[in-house]
Amino acid sequence: MDVSDLSGRFYLRLPGSGGRFAGYYASLEALRPLLEGAEWQAAATGYFINVAGDFDAVRLTYFSAAPDRLGALVRQFAAARGLAQSQPPEPPVPAQVAAGYGGEELRFRRYLATYTRIGLDLLRADALNARCLFATFRWQVMAARQPYRPHFQRTFQRDSPFYRGLPAAAQDQFWADLVHWPNPPQVDWAHMMVNMLLGCDWLGDWLYFLRPQPPLGRAEINERLAEQGFAIPDDWKP
């Protein structure tokens, strides 16, 4: 990966796969064979995933030194698998994706690519557990300024082959990146991973997160999750 790699975006949705949130997760799973394929991995130096559309589509942002090749691959895959473009793609351009997030371009790009690979593993292994983990992270761990790594590490170690395969130094860098928050009025770097795993983040409550807050109880968190169609089970533990 290099900061000179161009960046573009596709917005992809699997028609008939459900509405808000359900459609997002179904669209993400429909994309998985593309992202795990040798052709994609040869053409993309990195990529990251967030929710798009009406919470029913995937925003796939890529970095590439060969964007024409990569774009053709995405279009062919989408046509073959019945994926629709929920909005027009954004063409590849030189980009400073870290401009609003502290300006460390290469570090930020590497973090985006790393969290996405870990997140794909977590959703494959146990999607409900992953969603519970990130909801409690936002409303308990991050809100109360508790350490992040103890909350996540056992699950990452168990459920993510990509995380397990990272050298120790790269794992340490990932944890440093996950907690990084260079501009508090702007969202933290963890926001991108929360958005991928939950299909949302609570940006309307961002002023709430600017100061440490008491961790919310499970019932209060579940009230906030009702729109997403799931709840943290009574017997769930991180």
pLDDT in tens, 103-159: 999 999 999 999 999 999 999 999 999 999 999 999 999 999 999 999 999 999 999
Q: What is the pLDDT of residue 237?
A: 87
What's the whole-model pTM score? 0.96
In this prediction, residues 172-183 reach a mean pLDDT of 97
Q: What is the pLDDT of residue 173?
A: 98
For residues 99 and 92, what is the distance between their CA atoms, to the nearest angstrom?
17
For residues 203 and 134, what is the distance between their CA atoms, to the nearest angstrom?
15
Q: What is the pLDDT of residue 89?
A: 95
- Domain formed by 6-93, architecture: 2-Layer Sandwich (3.30)
Helices assigned H by DSSP within the chain: 22-35, 38-43, 67-81, 105-136, 149-159, 161-165, 168-178, 190-198, 206-209, 218-225
For residues 181 and 178, what is the distance between their CA atoms, to the nearest angstrom?
8
For the cut 90, the answer to whether the pLDDT of residue 238 exceeds it is no
For the cut 90, the answer to whether the pLDDT of residue 30 exceeds it is yes
Burial class (CB in 10 A: 0-12, 13-18, 19+), 16: exposed
- Token output for 229: 């169609």
Q: What residue spans in the chain does CATH classification 3.30.70 cover? A: 6-93
